[in-house]
Amino acid sequence: MPELDVSTTVNGRPVEMRLPTRLTLADFVRDRLGLTGTKVSCGMQVCGACTVLVDGDPVSACSYLACDVDGREVLTVEGLADGGELTPVQRAFVDCSALQCGFCTPGFVMAATALLRDEPHPTEEQIAHHLDGNLCRCTGYLPIVEAVLKASRAGGIDE
């Protein structure tokens, strides 16, 4: 299997590894780094469960090659509450009961974090537009919209 040396930063920590070129970013963070908060569901960039941020932009880690994060910064859900304090987005998802099974939740939290970084006070329509690439099968979405609105009132992202 062809491999490449990859030098990246994951959740603020430098990582240098030799990785198979076909390894996805999702398998890299989950299997090689043990960061299993990132979930894989549809496997084809539709559901958003595997959303992580690469240089601040949301990407579907199931369809993104690990080697392509060489020289870039990766943020996964584990990197948000580093130290234990929930971010406003995480806090709002808890407070609004914006989750049930929770399998989609890390992806929603990451996508919402990216949204609020770009647009600290989004309208409901902007929230829906931005999160249209994230599927949730449990909640019916309304509590998720409410949570993002609440997080935006609470000050959006917090690092």
Residues that bind another protein (CB under 8 A): 1, 20, 22, 27, 30, 35-44, 46-47, 49, 76-78, 80-81, 86, 90, 93-95, 97, 99-106, 109, 127-129, 131-132, 134-145
Q: Shortest distance, CB of residue 87 to another protein, whole angstroms?
A: 9
Shortest Å distance, C-beta 26 to another protein: 11
Q: DSSP string of 95-159?
A: HTT--SS-SSHHHHHHHHHHHHHH-SS--HHHHHHHTTT---SSS-SHHHHHHHHHHHHTTS---
Please, which residue, 9 or 100, has the CB nearer to another protein?
Answer: 100
> What are the CB-based long-range contacts (under 8 Å, 24+) for 11-20?
11/35, 11/74, 11/75, 11/76, 11/78, 11/79, 11/82, 12/79, 12/82, 19/66, 19/67
Closest CA to 11 of 31, 38, 48: 38
CB of 35 to another protein, least distance (A): 7
Choose between 54 and 71: whose C-beta lies nearer to another protein. 54
- Quote the least distance from Cβ 117 to another protein, whole Å: 17
- From the CA atom positions of the chain, what is the Rg in Å? 15
User: What is the closest distance, in whole angstroms, from the C-beta atom of residue 121 to another protein in the complex?
Assistant: 18
Nearer to another protein, 71 or 118 (CB): 118
**Cβ-based nearer residue to another protein, 8 or 105:** 105
Q: Which is nearer to another protein, 71 or 138 (CB)?
A: 138
